[in-house]
Amino acid sequence: GENVEQHPSTLSVQEGDSAVIKCTYSDSASNYFPWYKQELGKRPQLIIDIRSNVGEKKDQRIAVTLNKTAKHFSLHITETQPEDSAVYFCAAANDYKLSFGAGTTVTVRA
């Protein structure tokens, strides 16, 4: 099955700085890579996703990059704000099953 590894497990950044989270996956057939944000006690919410035929995607302050050859993908958050503090999960899907990374706890210091 698919194995997704996510780093770092915790990340503390100064407000206004950038945050980068990296993930690797094992199944070369995986073709869909979403990112979810989960605030304490709440449900995971999709913030951005990328498909295997695209190398990069951007939505305002959030961008994702995908390197299919190396089987890794990354989330970039620029100009971080306190409301960006949350746990972020990467995931990879082949067919119907979504496999998640262990999560990155991001803390934005004011």
Partner 1 sequence: NAGVMQNPRHLVRRRGQEARLRCSPMKGHSHVYWYRQLPEEGLKFMVYLQKENIIDESGMPKERFSAEFPKEGPSILRIQQVVRGDSAAYFCASSPRTDRGDSPLHFGNGTRLTVT
Paired with 21 in beta bridges are 75
The answer to whether residue 32 forms part of the interface with partner 1 (CB under 8 A) is: yes
- Nearest distance from C-beta of residue 79 to partner 1, angstroms: 25
82: three-class secondary structure by DSSP: helix
C-beta of 44 vs 75, nearer to partner 1: 44
- Nearest distance from C-beta of residue 33 to partner 1, angstroms: 9
The answer to whether residue 101 forms part of the interface with partner 1 (CB under 8 A) is: yes
| Nearest CA-CA partner of 21 in 4, 37, 6 | 6
- Which residues in 61-100 contact partner 1 (CB under 8 A)? 89, 93-100
Report the residue from 14, 43, 60, 69 that binds partner 1 according to the rule CB under 8 A.
43
- Nearest distance from C-beta of residue 62 to partner 1, angstroms: 15
The two structure tokens encoding residue 101: 């990374």
The answer to whether residue 31 forms part of the interface with partner 1 (CB under 8 A) is: yes
C-alpha distances in angstroms, 11 versus 46, 88, 104, 105? 20, 10, 7, 6
**CA 80 – CA 61 distance, rounded (Å):** 8
The answer to whether residue 51 forms part of the interface with partner 1 (CB under 8 A) is: yes
